[in-house]
Structures are given as structure tokens and as C-alpha cells.
Amino acid sequence: MKVLTLLAPRLWALRNGFVFGGRRSLTKTGSLFIMAVGFWVVIYAIFYRVLSYFQAVEDFGDLLAYKLLSMVFLTFFGLLIFSNVLVALNTFFLSQDLGTIHATPVSIGELFTARFLETLLESSWMVLLFGVPVLTAYGLVYEASALYYLGLVSVMIPYLILAAAVGIMLTMLFVQIFPAQRTRDILLLLSILVTILLFFLFRFTRPERLVDPNAFSNVITYFRALSTPASPYLPSSWACEAVWPLLKSSTTSSSFYQGFLWMTAMASVVVSAFVAFLIYPEGWSKSQETRRLVVGRFISEGQRPRKGHRSQILALMGKDLKFFFRDNTQWSQLLLIFALIVLYLYNYSVLPLEMARMPTFYLQNLIAFLNVGLAGFVLASIGVRFVFTAISGEGFSFWIMQSAPLTIRRLLWSKFFFYLVPLLVLGLILTIASNELLHVDPLMRWLAPLTIFAMVFGVTALGIGMGAAFPNFKAENLTQVATGFGGLLYMILAMGFIALVIVLEAGPIYTLFMAQVHHHALSHLQWLYIGGSFLLAVLVNAAAIWLPMRYGIRKLAAYEQ
Amino acid sequence: MIRLEELTKRFQQVIAVNDVSLKVAAGEIYGFLGPNGAGKTTTIKMLAGIMRPTSGRILIDGLDLEKHPIEVKQRVGFIPDRPFLYEKLTGLEFMSFMANLYGLNGKGRDKRIQQFLELFELAEWGRELVGSYSHGMKQRLIMSAALLHEPRVFVVDEPLVGLDPKGARLIKRIFSKLKDSSLTVFMSTHTLEIAEELCDRIGIIHKGKLIAEGSYAELQQMAGQEDPRLESIFLHLTGAEAFSTEEIGFIREQN
């Protein structure tokens, strides 16, 4: 009974979000639902297409589909374990309500059961969202019977329980070694490093060579490697072995693996409960110990006195800089950005332009132009994570800004310039270096960095402005802010802005480029068209700076906590 | 020094502050009392420039807060009821940041920061992250930061929340000192003892309306209570008399 009581606050909070959230909450939920459906449809379409293609491949088709399924289950298991560890750290150790709950007469068993269920639900829904379209695509391509879908339910439940139990046990063991807060930081860093490593490993194997007929002998070797079985000790293999026969309407071996999954899942729950009884109280007590962190003199040196407005702007920027490098969730993402730059440029260095049917010089410049859009997209994606969240990052301390003799305008512009410089550097690296690798025409060599230079101002202003218009000072972490309604709106606007600039520049660049190629002079009308289009692009850039900043300043000035 | 004119704050259907007008003279300590949800924090937030009134005016040192927000904020030191601070800055960095935010410069700046940290017994914690401070330490750090720029008006929401007896005594002594240096203090508090001890005048707000105002003696007269304690006057004026023994008897009945 107490387990239900312990779960009730989460359910009530969810319900209250709908009941008291009003129209804005409904709009948000509606938008997220539409996004989820869109995402679902895209995943489904991709898998349906790939599986249909596999089916058409003689001999290897089934093998490929089977391997893909096994990879899907393995990926899910990895994701589930990781997400369960992160969620369990929160539900078992860091959640704010734990202090109150531990002071009430709730037994470890009751608390464990409630938090186990909470962890299970919170960490599994994302995998289910990914999994349903993938597994439905399998069912439809293989024209599976209803037994397949029933079997899926019977496989997924123990699979999710097993991952949750393992994740929770790992968390409890981690907290024995490190304090809870450090464990989260270490895991975060590890996850980033592993992601980067996987990215590099995958990219540097150059999978595009698989579609190169000249390397066909390698493909045969690759397929031979595919036919070797996956590890029989992995739960993902059991899940795959349980699902695969159902696609072929055979239940014999499926039942065995289903039974195996259920038994292991139940056993893992018992073992994790036992582990909890043994070490959870001690781990919880440890997680309450505060860490004293003395900052060395070299960074704790106070900001020097400066006069007037400069003093405020430098104070704000200095504070933001310290925040960035002292927050592990922030600076660690620089590693990801660095990996992104390396991969981005590597892709251009191995681009097989000579294999294309179009003239190389034409293709080089076309790609260089499209690269401006791609670089813009990369900047907008980084913008939503860092720039859009800049205002919300003030958190509950925003009262300091509100009560200080500081205008919202100055606050927003200081944030703007703080983020503008690194984004400019990144944008210019992406365009200049890729242009060098592509050996582009002098016209593109100048135009692409200039366009990106101008665009970064708009992307930054959009981030700061929209972030100020849709602040979330109560968010527990900034990722939550970036993935919210405002973040989505920012991405849509930023993409629209980038697309508009690209469209406005495409025509004139083509005209200039063709005139250069064919060595003919441009007419007055063509010059007028080129000038007009570039002027429009400049105006769009100016509007992208001015309008969102003005909107953000107005909305944030009216904000009341 | 402080003048509120027909100040009203409405949140959709709820009127949190209803037509409040009051004056606080320079060098006066004004206690703002009221039950929970009476409108104290809303009034304080409007006074600190964090919230905008629906109607009415706030004048500080003769300046309208709506028209001259920066000049007014430069004259005010504000302490909120909950000490939310930048957890990733050290105490020293926070003080330095606040000094720059308020345009405090000159030779004596660093010395002044150090003096405040010492006064509030935070000097040895100056190089540690604010995130590792206790509630009381954060409260003391905010107080030192709010006094750093030599404000003319001090707006405080619940000055003693989370402070240990030593911290509370220190705050009382500082308030007395501030009074001597003709700084105007506007504070809301539930600690009636501090209001009784320090305040020159007390205003009582109830359901958004200022229902009584005056010196301690004037309030005593107004309430006409036999019991001269502020607690009794407060309960009488807000219509929340203490429960009788019979009324709270049920608490132990179940056992």
C-alpha cells in the first residue's frame, strides 16, 4: 500500500500538469505528441524500407535482417542500462523528496519497490518509443501473425525489468565508491568519451566503401563475419532469439528464450532487492555528505574593479565563463564539439568527388555552398544547447539580475557577445577548413565564410532572444530547457532563417559562378538581381538579430518569478 | 525615503496586494508583518523591482521605481527570503561580482569585501564554492553582498530564516548599527520578537490590505488588548486568535 503512496506524487504531478497547466501546457503536450508521431513515422519508414530491401536480397537478406534485429536489441540494452543508472542515481540518491521520505516510517523494501518501478518507467519509455516502430516494421515486412506482437510484449517486459535491475545494482555499487554527485559527473564524462570513440571507430572504418563495387571482395568477407553468432550470455541475444522465430510463425525455440528472459528478470529483481537491503542505507547516507571544494587562487581571484557599463558586462561574462568551466555537464560537451569538427572535416577529406558524373569543379563549389547550410545547422544545434539555455541557466538566482541596477537589455547583449565569439570561431573553422579540403573557387572561398560570419550573429541573437522569451528558471538541468517548447521553436526559426539566407544567395551565386565559368560579362539586370538578393540576405540577417533580441528583452523584462 | 502609493498587485483573479499606501522616513526601521499569504513577499518583490505592480507607485528617495529602475536599484540593497545564489562561484567571487554589478570601484573595494566577509564570519570560506555553504552561510553572504554598495534603503524579506542564534544576534546588532547610520530598512518578518525589538514602526498586512500601522505603542492602543505583547496584538488584528486547549485536544486523541 505504501508503495502506491510513494508513487502517487509523481502521478499527481503529471495529472496536475494537465489540469492546472492551462492552454500553454496543452499546446506543449500537443506539439510534443506531434513530434513523437513524426519521429515514429520516420523511424518506421526507414526500417520498413531497409527490411523490404533486405528481403529482396537473395541468400543474405534474412541474415542481414536477423543481424540488424540483434544489433537493435543490443543497442537497446546498452541504452537501457545507461539510462537506468542515470535515473536510479536520481530516484535513489539525489531526488529532493528523499530526505522527507527517509524520515517517515517507510521500510527499505517499500522504498526500493516504489523507486524500482519509477526507475523502470522513467528509463524505459524512450526505448519503447524507438522500439515500437522498428519492431512493427519487422512484423509488417515479414507478415507476422498476432502471435509475434503478443510475443513482443512477453519479451519486452522482462527485458526492460532485467535492464532496470542491472542498472539499479550498478548504481548502488557506484555510490559505494564515489559520492552520488561525482558518480553522475563521471558517468556523464565516460558516456561522452565512449560516444566519441564509437563515432570515430565507425567513421574511420569508412562504411561507404561497402557500396563500392570495386571493394566487393571485402563485402563477402564482411558477410562471412556477419554469420557468426552473437554472445549467448547477452540478454539481447536471448531477446533476439525469442523474437526471430515468431516472425517466421514458429514458437518452439521462442518459448524457451522467453522463459529464460522471465526467469532471469525475476531473479535479477530479487538479487537487486537483496543488494539494496545490504548497501542502500549506507550509500544514501554517503550521498548526503557535502563535498568541500576549495578553488585555487588562480581562478578565484576577484574581478578587477572597472568603471561604468563595462564593469557590469565584464562581470557578467566573467561569471558565465567560470560557470561554464566549473560545470561538468557544460564543459564536457566541448569534447563532443571537438569530435564533431574532426568528423565533419574528415568527411570532406574522403569525399569521392572524382567518382561523380558531374564536373569536379562544379561539384566542389556546389558542395561548398551547401556546406554553408550544413555548418549553419551545426551552429543552430549547438546554439539550442548553449545559447538558448543561457538565460535559463541563471536559474533561481535570476533575482540577483532583477534586483541589480542592470537593464535586461544589457544582460541579454552581454550574453549575446559571450556566445557570439566561440560560435564565430567554430563557424569559420567549419567553412574555411572544408573549403580548403574541397579546393573551391576563390568566389566561394570568400563568400562561404562571409555568409557564415553574418549568419552566426542571427543564430546567436535568435538563441538569446528566444531563450529570454521562453525562460525556465526552475529546470533541474539545461538539457531539459533545450528540449522544451521554446527550444523547439528556436530550432524551427533558426532553420527557417538559415534556409532563407541560403535560398536568397543561391540564385546570385549561380549567376556569378556561371558567368565566371563561361567567361562572359554580367548584364546590368543581372547585377541588379545579384545586388538585390544580397541586400535582402543582409536585411534578413539584420532582422534575425534585431527582432528576437527585442522580443526577448520585452518578454524577460515582464517576467515575474 | 520609501513611499508606496495605492500599490496593487493582481494575479488573474487574486488580488495579492490591495491598494497599499505607506511612508517610511529616512533612518527608520519599518517592520512589515502579516500572516502567510497576506501579501508581504509580493510587496517586498515590487519594492525590490523584481515584480511590477498592477497599479500604484513606488517612490524611493523621491524617484519613481517604474520610471527610474536603475537609479532606484542602485540605492537599494535587497535580501530575498530564500538564499538562491550562484553555486559555482566562490564567496569571494560572488562578492566581487556583486561589487562590479553595482559599479563599486575604487581602491577600497577589495578591502571592503574582506571586511564584510570577516564581519559575517565567512572570511575563511571565501575561496570555497557557494554550493558547499549551509543555508545560514548563504543568508549571511547575501546580506554582506547587499550592504556592499552602501545602499540607502535596505529591503529584507525574513532576515532571520535559517540563522543560528549567533547569526541572528549578529543580524540584530547590524540592524541597530544601520539605524544609527540613518539607513532606511523595510523588512518583513514572522519573528515578532525582532520586530518588537528593532522596528520604529510596524505595518500589518492582511489579505493584501494594510490593516494597521504605527509604532509599537500605537498598535497596542489600537488593539486594546490586555496582553501587551506584539504576538497578541498581531493575532487580534489579523483575526487569528490562538487556538484554545480544547480545540487542539484532538491531536492526541487517536493515540
The pLDDT tens digits of the residues spanning A320-354 come to: 898 888 877 778 778 778 877 887 888 777 766 66
Three-state DSSP state, B129 = strand
Contact call for residues B99 and B143 (beta carbons, < 8 A): no
Q: Taking CB atoms and an 8 Å limit, are A396 and B84 in contact across chains?
A: yes
Closest residue in B to A400 (Cα–Cα): B85
The reply to whether A274 and A369 lie within a common domain is: no
pLDDT tier at A498, thresholds 50, 70, 90: very high
Instruction: Please give the pLDDT value at position A355.
Output: 61
The reply to whether A407 and A482 lie within a common domain is: yes
Contact call for residues B84 and A399 (beta carbons, < 8 A): yes
Q: Taking CB atoms and an 8 Å limit, are B102 and A405 in contact across chains?
A: yes
Instruction: Please give the pLDDT value at position A301.
Output: 43
Residue A193 has pLDDT above 90, yes or no: no
Q: Which of A240, A255, A287 is the last residue of a domain?
A: A287
* Average confidence (pLDDT) over A157-171: 94
- Cα B77 to its chain centre, rounded Å, is 10
Q: Check residue A92 and report its DSSP letter.
A: I
pLDDT tier at A135, thresholds 50, 70, 90: very high
Instruction: Please give the pLDDT value at position A153.
Output: 92
Query: What is the set of domains in chain B, with CATH numbers?
Result: 2-252 (3.40.50.300)
Q: Which residue has the higher pLDDT, A545 or B159?
A: A545
**A300 CB within 8 Å of a chain B CB:** yes
Residue A275 has pLDDT above 70, yes or no: yes
The reply to whether A29 and A160 lie within a common domain is: yes
- Collect all residues of chain A within an 8 Å Cβ-Cβ radius of residue B78: 399, 403
d(CA B186, CA B196): 14
pLDDT tier at A152, thresholds 50, 70, 90: very high
**pLDDT tens digits for A75-122?**
888 888 888 888 888 888 888 778 778 777 778 888 999 999 999 998
- Express as a percent the part of chain A with pLDDT over 90: 26
The reply to whether A323 and A268 lie within a common domain is: no
How far is the alpha carbon of A93 from chain B, nearest alpha carbon, in Å? 18
Residue A158 belongs to some domain of the structure = yes
**A96 CB within 8 Å of a chain B CB:** no
- Residue of B49, B89, B104 with shortest CB distance to A319: B89
What is the domain range of residue A44?
24-178+230-287
Q: Taking CB atoms and an 8 Å limit, are A303 and B100 in contact across chains?
A: yes
The reply to whether A468 and A343 lie within a common domain is: yes
The reply to whether A272 and A314 lie within a common domain is: no
The reply to whether A457 and A520 lie within a common domain is: yes
- Collect all residues of chain B within an 8 Å Cβ-Cβ radius of residue A316: 101
Residue B61 Cα distances to A407, B26, B27, B102, B151, angstroms: 20, 9, 12, 17, 11
- Residue of A291, A407, A558 with shortest CB distance to B70: A407
Residue A5 belongs to some domain of the structure = no
Closest residue in A to B85 (Cα–Cα): A397
The reply to whether A111 and A171 lie within a common domain is: yes
Closest residue in A to B73 (Cα–Cα): A405
Residue A540 Cα distances to A252, A499, B111, angstroms: 65, 11, 50
Residue A538 belongs to some domain of the structure = yes
Residue A541 belongs to some domain of the structure = yes
Q: Which residue has the higher pLDDT, A348 or A467?
A: A467
Instruction: Please give the pLDDT value at position A303.
Output: 47
Q: Which residue has the higher pLDDT, B245 or B31?
A: B31
The reply to whether A243 and A331 lie within a common domain is: no
- B230: closest CA among B206, B198, B187, B207? B198
The reply to whether A137 and A252 lie within a common domain is: yes
The reply to whether A174 and A315 lie within a common domain is: no
Per the document, the length of chain B is 255
Residue A411 has pLDDT above 90, yes or no: yes
Instruction: Please give the pLDDT value at position B6.
Output: 92
- Collect all residues of chain A within an 8 Å Cβ-Cβ radius of residue B90: 295, 300
The reply to whether A281 and A343 lie within a common domain is: no
Q: Taking CB atoms and an 8 Å limit, are B100 and A314 in contact across chains?
A: yes
Cβ neighbours for A140, distance < 8 A, ≥ 6 positions apart: A48
Instruction: Please give the pLDDT value at position A214.
Output: 59
Mean pLDDT rounded to a whole number for chain A: 82
Closest residue in A to B50 (Cα–Cα): A402
Instruction: Please give the pLDDT value at position A356.
Output: 59
**pLDDT tens digits for A381-402?**
889 889 999 999 998 889 899 8
* Average confidence (pLDDT) over A31-45: 86
Q: How many domains does chain A have?
A: 2
Q: Taking CB atoms and an 8 Å limit, are A305 and B104 in contact across chains?
A: yes
* Average confidence (pLDDT) over A507-516: 83
Residue A425 belongs to some domain of the structure = yes
Residue A371 belongs to some domain of the structure = yes
**Position of cell 534575425?**
A544
**pLDDT tens digits for A419-463?**
999 999 999 998 898 888 888 878 888 888 999 999 999 999 999
